[in-house]
Amino acid sequence: MHPPASHPPASFDIYGASEPASPVILSVPHGGRDYPLALRAALRVPVEALRPLEDRHIDTLALAAIGGETMLVQRRARAWIDLNRAENERDPHIDGGADRRALGLQSAKVRGGLGLIPRRIASAGEIWRRKLDGEEVMARIAGDHRPYHAALGAALTAARGRFGVAVLLDVHSMPSLASGAQIVLGDRFGQSAGGRFVHRLEAEARGAGLSSAINTPYAGGHILDRHGAPGKGVHAVQLEFDRALYLDAARDAPGPGLDAVAKLLRRMIDALADEALALPATLAAE
């Protein structure tokens, strides 16, 4: 494990050198297990009921895989604020500062209770015992959401400046799917990354004997929308691992498969870097 290379805001860590050592930048936005006291005090369910919102121990997996790459890891739990939602994906059912008219048509995620501040989860129902006031939500946006995205954007800009291209790998995990896919790759249906990067990751999954799917059921969210800009040489891919691959039978702690999956993630990172560095300058921006 590499110690944090800088002193970012308290809600996330940055790993790797201040100058990116690779065109590949990693983001781990949903692995946080820090539940602040203010969050706990507002819950109507036990804090343990919020674990389905976590990409449980995906940070442990990512830390076992990285070398010198720059990586951002969110420490605060997704229930506090979801970094993979846009600032305007606020849910008026639990957010006193959300103006229905100003926010416009709500996304399916917000309507389902998984907006910027998650409202409900299938296994526990509504999670808050009171409505959050607008100042609370704005404080989370200013203190957690904006700094994470600013740091991620700066890392990608630095990598693009040094290597002529940057590749964001947004690392997540998922429950086992009925389709049987063990890895899901998302590129916003071709909008956030050049196809060559997704194909390299698909090949690595296949080489490990794992089944994969592209954009179904996870095509990526706000992080890819915000930071992926293939036309400017910044490619962004979301990577989802089946939690059964690396967690124990209870899906709670790292399991016997963690080492093998970490090695696969390492190969995936290397494959993306190889693909990026092999691009002619005219193709780096697709």
What is the CATH number for 63? 3.40.630.40
Question: Residue 280: is the preceding peptide bond cis (ω within 30°)?
Answer: no
Classified as helix, coil or strand, 283 is helix
Does 192 fall in a domain?
A: yes
Q: Which helix (H) or strand (E) holds 60?
A: helix 58-65
Question: What tokens appear for 71 in the block?
Answer: 């990586």
Does 272 fall in a domain?
A: yes
Classified as helix, coil or strand, 173 is strand
For residue 227, the model assigns a pLDDT of 98
Does 3 fall in a domain?
A: no
Does 140 fall in a domain?
A: no
Spatial separation of the C-alpha atoms in residues 142 and 235, rounded to whole Å:
26
Spatial separation of the C-alpha atoms in residues 50 and 181, rounded to whole Å:
25
In angstroms, the first-to-last Cα distance of the chain is 34
Rg from Cα positions in the chain: 18
What Cα–Cα distance (Å) separates residue 249 from each residue in 86, 141, 177, 256?
A: 34, 35, 16, 10
Does 229 fall in a domain?
A: yes
Q: How many domains does the chain fold into?
A: 1
Classified as helix, coil or strand, 42 is helix
* 247 contacts 109 by C-beta, under 8 angstroms: no
Segments forming the whole domain that contains residue 266 = 12-44+55-84+145-277
Does 105 fall in a domain?
A: no
Spatial separation of the C-alpha atoms in residues 239 and 131, rounded to whole Å:
33
Taking the model in full, what pTM does it have? 0.93
Does 138 fall in a domain?
A: no
For residue 286, the model assigns a pLDDT of 56
DSSP 122: T
Spatial separation of the C-alpha atoms in residues 128 and 157, rounded to whole Å:
38
Spatial separation of the C-alpha atoms in residues 39 and 136, rounded to whole Å:
10
For residue 284, the model assigns a pLDDT of 56
For residue 282, the model assigns a pLDDT of 47
For 259-264, which contacts have Cβ atoms below 8 Å and span 24 or more sequence positions?
259/64, 260/208, 261/61, 262/61, 262/64, 262/65, 263/65, 264/204, 264/205, 264/208, 264/210
Classified as helix, coil or strand, 120 is strand
* 268 contacts 231 by C-beta, under 8 angstroms: no
Does 111 fall in a domain?
A: no
Per-residue pLDDT of the chain (286 residues; tens, 9 = 90+): 455 555 545 699 999 988 999 999 999 999 999 999 999 999 999 999 999 999 999 999 999 999 999 999 999 999 999 999 999 999 999 999 887 665 566 788 998 999 999 999 999 999 999 999 999 999 999 999 999 999 999 999 999 999 999 999 999 999 999 999 999 999 999 999 999 999 999 999 999 999 999 999 999 999 999 999 999 999 999 999 999 999 999 999 999 999 999 999 999 999 999 999 997 654 555 5
